[in-house]
Amino acid sequence: MKPPSFVYHAPATVAEAVEALAAAGADGKVLAGGQSLIPLMNMRLAAPGQLVDINHVAGLGEITAEAGGVRVGALARHAEVEASETAFAAQPLVRRALRLVAHPAVRNRGTTVGSIVHADPAAEMPAVLALLGGSVRARGPEGERDIPAAEFFTGPMESSLRTGELAVSAFFPSTAGGTAIVEVARRHGDYAMAGVAALVGPDHARVACLSVGAVPVVVDVTEAQGDWARAARLVQERIEPEADIHATADYRRHLTGVLAERALKEAADA
């Protein structure tokens, strides 16, 4: 199907973009890579009255090493972040997770920040941001603020970004210890039926689970003290998966346990 019509804005600066978004109010949507938004529009599941295209805004595509991590600009394409040695050096999990995001042709256009803002609980990058305790930097009419991942994801496809705010970058912290991400999808490149990102540090361990809740589900499993089978059971008790055409709730719970154990082992050995 064809997307519904909309009023198109092509701002050249962040200030102009924020102004256009604020003027559009609840009717406005940001267009970055469009790899989530345009399918929704083509299928008429979304019909924003106004699109603010940030593809012509200068300075949003940067990937920058900062103290304690890496900052990824709103226009950095998945493929660019995946290839970035700066990002890899600061947080290798970012590259590993991006290789699970859709297919190369989608990663060439889609943006990492866009994926986070889309806030699909089945997507990898929101889970990675949540696992690492990263943040999203938002610019709005009242200025700039950093939103911690724990406060950013508020529901399926819902974030705490306010109307008129533009996510200008995301920050992925570096971490002490190993990380891993594993998932099971019906077809390679599809959204996963279940997936787990894990972080095992010298004195802590936690996981973030995909597709088993309204938001990425972060579970601290430090108390398992390296017994990853026990950690997997802790994770299974915490999640509340739902059934859909791809998997039953029980199967998702089973998969998440298996994947949690696998991811934690891999992270511990990394």
Partner 1 sequence: MHDVTLVVNGVPRHARVPARRLLSDFLRHDIGLTGTHVGCEHGVCGACTVLLDGRPVRACLTFAVSVAGHEVTTVEGLADGDRLSPVQRAFAECHGLQCGFCTPGFLTTVTAFLRENPAPADDEVVEAVAGNLCRCTGYQNIVKSVHRAAELMAEEGP
**Residues near partner 1 (CB under 8 A):** 1-8, 10, 31, 34-35, 38-39, 41-43, 51, 53, 55, 79, 102-106, 108-109, 188-189
Closest to 169 (Cα-Cα) out of 87, 85, 61, 51:
61
Q: Quick one: 34 or 178, whose CB is closer to partner 1?
A: 34
Q: Quick one: 4 or 25, whose CB is closer to partner 1?
A: 4
Geometric angle at alpha carbon 156, from 121 and 133, rounded to 5°: 55
* Rounded CA separation 237/223 (Å): 14
Q: Quick one: 155 or 189, whose CB is closer to partner 1?
A: 189
| Smallest separation, CB 13 to partner 1 (Å) | 17
| Smallest separation, CB 148 to partner 1 (Å) | 31
Q: Quick one: 16 or 227, whose CB is closer to partner 1?
A: 16
Per-residue tokens: 236: 């299974």
| Smallest separation, CB 261 to partner 1 (Å) | 26
| Smallest separation, CB 184 to partner 1 (Å) | 16
The residues that bridge with 72 in the sheet, in sequence order, are 63, 170
| Smallest separation, CB 8 to partner 1 (Å) | 3
Q: CB-based burial of residue 151 (10 Å sphere; 0-12 exposed, 13-18 middle, 19+ buried)?
A: exposed
The residues that bridge with 217 in the sheet, in sequence order, are 209
26 CB-side CA count, 13 A: 0
| Smallest separation, CB 169 to partner 1 (Å) | 21
Per-residue tokens: 74: 């709103």
| Smallest separation, CB 240 to partner 1 (Å) | 28
Q: Quick one: 46 or 214, whose CB is closer to partner 1?
A: 46
Q: Quick one: 33 or 257, whose CB is closer to partner 1?
A: 33
The residues that bridge with 145 in the sheet, in sequence order, are 138
* Rounded CA separation 46/201 (Å): 41
Q: Quick one: 71 or 77, whose CB is closer to partner 1?
A: 77
- How do strand 166-173 and strand 135-140 relate by DSSP bridges? antiparallel
Q: Long-range contact list for 221-225, CB < 8 A, 24+ apart?
A: 221/260, 221/264
Per-residue tokens: 118: 């889309």
